[in-house]
Structure 1
């Protein structure tokens, strides 16, 4: 039976909440509450039971860990990943160095279609082993809950293969896993000029089986020029809702074409990317409950603009940070690096970035009542850092591994 565990002499216990808000916006994002010289008690149930200053520490005779000069903070929540894939795409990395854009690579059969071809050639067992190893790497860098998308299958058989692998990961995973069906990631070459047929396959063939086998929590569409139009996305999202799948969608990575409006109209939980955003998009998001998911590692890797986080803050629009881990445009599972990029390239304060990668990211996966902050009663998934000088040191030391241990309960 699990026993209580006391952590003592914590330099800073950070990311504390007391119930509300469950989602921070505007000036609230700068409030990442910390207690100096703290203690933290974990219950037999693996939840946060009590915490406080060392001067008020209770008598305790069980398991004790000394955290002198170390920080404790809630695990990162990575709400947007393409964790399941068969191959890496380092050749496309070189193509971009030689001057090709992401869109040019895609138009000549690279990108998503490249990954889809490899998915069809790999066994389900091998795909699981490769992907689960990535999950463990993510946990080691501080991730305590994660979203996993399909989207490299692009056929009935291979999309279901990916979703079944995702569910195998979910069963074995020590951390919460949410699964998103992304059959509408791109049009397979055979349907490049016959969109209606592929959309019909998604809606009439894939979705009924996904629902029957309970293979996904959310539905996603890549709404962008040369991919799915807002009108095509709406057709898919409406059918997805009929099967109980809430939308979390790719929009505005390269162009603002009305995807945000269509997503909000369909009550999307989140709209992800937003490297390009218009005044009309801002107005739409201000009058919605939809969370923006910003992906700075993608911007860094393929040299596109960074999402305008400060504009979202000024307009009290909720947003979170995620890795966008994938083999083509963001081969990065390290959420600490994502936070560093948010500070360096998007001018977020460390407090804003940590809130966006923890509490707000939990809300983007509808996990905010159990994860995302140090709060009495929440699940005790947290990070112990190596000895560091301050919270600010974590994003400052952008290439240093500052995490000593990820504790998962």
Structure 2
């Protein structure tokens, strides 16, 4: 006859363990201590077994019967409930140690042949956009819908290109998780095509008119002075923005008028020398009074130990009224006008632009190659830039 909750509550302990049977193999065992434990008796291959369900009253009668029914379903499949429980617990232990955050950081650490800056970029991308939302979830349990929600947040703040990159990195991470037996599939693969990459706008050089307008805007700009100096130096030195942002004071010798950039901070991973013309030195001396107390030429305001955000200078350029141009256009501008001047050899221009030599049979790269000509060219370019309105009038 089935048990009732009153019977179980009122059942007293004796000097020996005793049992009260319910139905379909369920019974409760009452220990001499008064503790009461639910048990399920079953047979597989003619052998009797007992499966522990839980303790009363934490597990009530209705819950015990529900757990008994789950166990019966496994027995009908020829599976021991205790074996299934041990497997599930072991899997849960593994998954608790295999959250998306744990696996992502392990994947990033496992990547070889990448620069420290790229590794830092991966950590920042996951830390900012994924870890706060799905980082604690087992990597196996994260769904495509949850990942899409994270990437949509990026899209809403205008970081569509970044969201596409992160989606690709997620797929790489999930392939790593599959290889290490912590995931069965790649949910990020379902998101390919969910974001549309905006058309690429190639760099375009400034005309003399536009160069003159930029000089006028710089002179009247009332924003943060370090940003103004940055834009002027970008025009004069035409480095890549990422190389510029990583600049360190220890690499700048103002007395010798040279910026010696280590290979690890250059896109092409080659040491690069930048001859500094007089006005560039003057700007850097002024900048030193602003940021010279730290490591970086252009530190972030919130995190002085990190370079300024990549969009900062482009936003300053927009606020100056130079809409339609980006900082990368300074390189195209210098390249175009230097070539059109006819005064300098292409080898000199290309090496100062830090372009890779196409002829693989040539001798090893020499960072100081053509230095006298490069100094002359940088001085000419500074004068040309500073007198752009005058140059335009003279048609030079």
- Taking structure 1 as the reference length, what is the TM-score of the superposition? 0.20
User: 1 or 2, which has the higher strand percentage?
Assistant: 1
Larger radius of gyration, structure 1 or 2? 2
Larger relative helix fraction: 2
